[in-house]
Amino acid sequence: MRFIADRMLGTLTRYLRFMGYDTLSANSLEAGSTREDTALLEIARTEGRILLTRDRELARRGGEMAIFVEGNDVMAQIRILRSLGLITPAVVMDRCSLCNTELRPATDAEVEGADYVPEERTSIEFFLCPRCNKLYWMGSHGRNLVASLRKNLEPP
């Protein structure tokens, strides 16, 4: 499943990327364009992506290739996508949360040259975004995301 999200869904975009979903963001388009909605629809159509939007009119224009995502709470938004059968929430961390590029295993030299690396590195798998050079690993942020998904998405 591949998505493109409007500017109002930045947090959802990052979460989807952490879950391994190829998710483009309207934030990569030129800001202030009066044709942004048309560009989003065109990208969705030509690339076979589902448009996620907080704009009811844009969702209406997108028809079957668009989903109106209600609310500001990212967990509620994830529940909507899960209930539609579009995603299976699980943290896989194989995409850069910033630029959507697929991650690759980091070399020892890349880990050593990073701005910040945890002191205890035993049995930690590191990944690197080849586009923006961001280093990833399943640290406290990833574990907190996993816990938050579990807590907020389990049936009552």
Of 32 and 55, the one with more pLDDT: 55
Q: Which residues contact 66 (CB under 8 A, 6 or more apart)?
A: 41, 44, 50, 51, 52, 53, 58, 59, 60
Contacts of 11 (CB under 8 A, 6+ apart): 74
Average of per-residue pLDDT values in the chain: 91
Report the alpha-carbon distance of residue 8 to residue 57 in Å, rounded. 14
Best mean pLDDT range from 18-32, 111-125, 141-155: 18-32
Distances 131 to 2, 99, 101 between C-alpha atoms, Å: 19, 8, 7
Where in the chain are the domains? 2-83, 97-137
State yes or no: pLDDT of 155 exceeds 70.
Answer: no
pLDDT score, position 8:
93
Residue 154 has pLDDT above 70, yes or no: yes
Rounded CA-CA distance 69/55 in Å is 8
The pairs formed by 65-69 with CB atoms below 8 angstroms and a separation of 24 or more are 65/41, 66/41, 69/9, 69/12
Reported as a pLDDT band with limits 50, 70 and 90, residue 35 is confident
Angle between helices 10-18 and 140-153 (to 10 degrees): 100
Residue 69 has pLDDT above 80, yes or no: yes
Average pLDDT over residues 100-117: 90
| Helix H or strand E encompassing 52 | strand 50-53
Strand partners, 4: 24, 51
Residue 47 CB contacts under 8 Å (≥ 6 apart), including other chains: 2, 4, 24
CATH topology of domain 2-83: Rossmann fold (3.40.50)
Give the pLDDT confidence score for residue 156 in this predicted structure.
Answer: 54
